[in-house]
Structure 1
Amino acid sequence: MQALELKIPPLLLVVLFAVAMWALAQWVPSLVLPLSWRLLFAGTFAVAGVSVVLAGVLAFRRANTTVDPRVPQQSSSLVIRGIYRYSRNPMYVGFFLLLAALACYLMNAAAFALLPLFVWYINRFQIAPEERFLLQKFGADYQTYCDTVRRWL
């Protein structure tokens, strides 16, 4: 399973999950959940998701470090300011919120069922290897950061 670590760009992963969610919603329309406010929920999650992702990217840009999580060795600094005071992985939180927005828009139980799979995949194949590398590179500073800031929220 280590072969999958840091291989799929997270943005591509979001697109793949979005396509899978849409396909499942089409394949099993009987799992539609009735909710008249689905567009309000979808819009709220989408705006929140985009905002969180952009805040994460801007924090990385300000710190002059790479935003590509597939190459953690290019990290030039430990980013702990801005939105990173609240989450160690705000970009992944934002991606999750975008997928939640799509699930709300589709309002299909099968689409919602993929959300925990996304979290599992990101935890296992993105975050865990990133954390190993960051701990090795930044040592006690990173460990202190991990001890005070949650992985997701």
Structure 2
Amino acid sequence: MPNLDNRIPPPLIAASAALLIGLLSFLPGHFPLPHGLRIALIIALFGMGILLGIGGVIAFKRAQTTVNPLKPETASALVVGGVYQYSRNPMYTGLALWLVAWALYLDSVVALAGVAVFVGYMTRFQIKPEERAMQALFGAQFELYKARVRRWL
């Protein structure tokens, strides 16, 4: 099996997961929620995803460090402020929230398996390699941050 660490851009992984969610939505299993509540949740999750994603990019730009997820070893700063005080991976968490909103929109409980696949893939092949790079670059500073802030939420 080829090494997939930091090889595929996260938006492409999210798009693939969205496709999987779409395919899974053809299987039986609907959300037992009133329509209005489901729509409100979709809007809230999508909005929170946007805020986390944009907040993450803004924090990286303010710190003048790379936003490129395929080259974490080029980071010039450990970003711990803004949305990064709540999640070590707010941009990926935002993508996951969009995927949950997509499954809700398609009214498919089964499709949430696609979100689980996304989270599992991202953790194994994107986040853990990034964490190794951050550990190598920032040492004890990253250890303290990692102990204080969760990986996802």
TM-score range, shorter chain: over 0.9
In the alignment, which residue of structure 2 is the partner of 1:68?
Answer: 68
Distance verdict in 2 for CA 1:145–1:127, change over 3 Å: same
Secondary structure of the residue aligned to 1:133 is helix
In the alignment, which residue of structure 1 is the partner of 2:102?
Answer: 102
Shift, 1:41, TM fit: 1.2
Q: Which runs of 5+ in 1 are unaligned?
A: none
Please say if residues 52 and 94 of structure 1, whose CA atoms lie closer than 8 Å, have aligned partners that are also in contact.
Answer: yes
Moved over 3 A (4+): none
1:7-65 per-position Cα deviation (integer Å, ceiling 9, x unaligned): 1110111111111111221x32x323343232211111000101111000100011111
Shift, 1:77, TM fit: 0.7
- What percent of counterpart residues are identical? 42
How far apart, CA to CA, are the structure 2 residues paired with 1:147 and 1:109? 33
How far apart, CA to CA, are the structure 2 residues paired with 1:68 and 1:140? 23
Shift, 1:85, TM fit: 1.0
The amino acid across from 1:31 in the alignment is G
The number of residues matched between the two structures is: 151
Normalised to the residue count of structure 2, the TM-score between the two structures is: 0.92
Counterpart check, 1:11 vs 2:17: no
Map 1:80-119; keep pairs closer than 5 Å: 80-119=80-119
Structure (1/2) with the larger helix percentage:
1
- Let me know the Cα RMSD of the aligned residues: 1.3
Q: Which runs of 5+ in 2 are unaligned?
A: none
1:93-146 per-position Cα deviation (integer Å, ceiling 9, x unaligned): 111111011011111122112222211111111111000111011111111111
1:64-97 per-position Cα deviation (integer Å, ceiling 9, x unaligned): 1111111012111111111111111111111111
Secondary structure of the residue aligned to 2:3 is helix
In the alignment, which residue of structure 2 is the partner of 1:42?
Answer: 42
Please say if residues 18 and 114 of structure 2, whose CA atoms lie closer than 8 Å, have aligned partners that are also in contact.
Answer: no
Give the stretch that moved more between structures: 56-65 or 106-115.
106-115
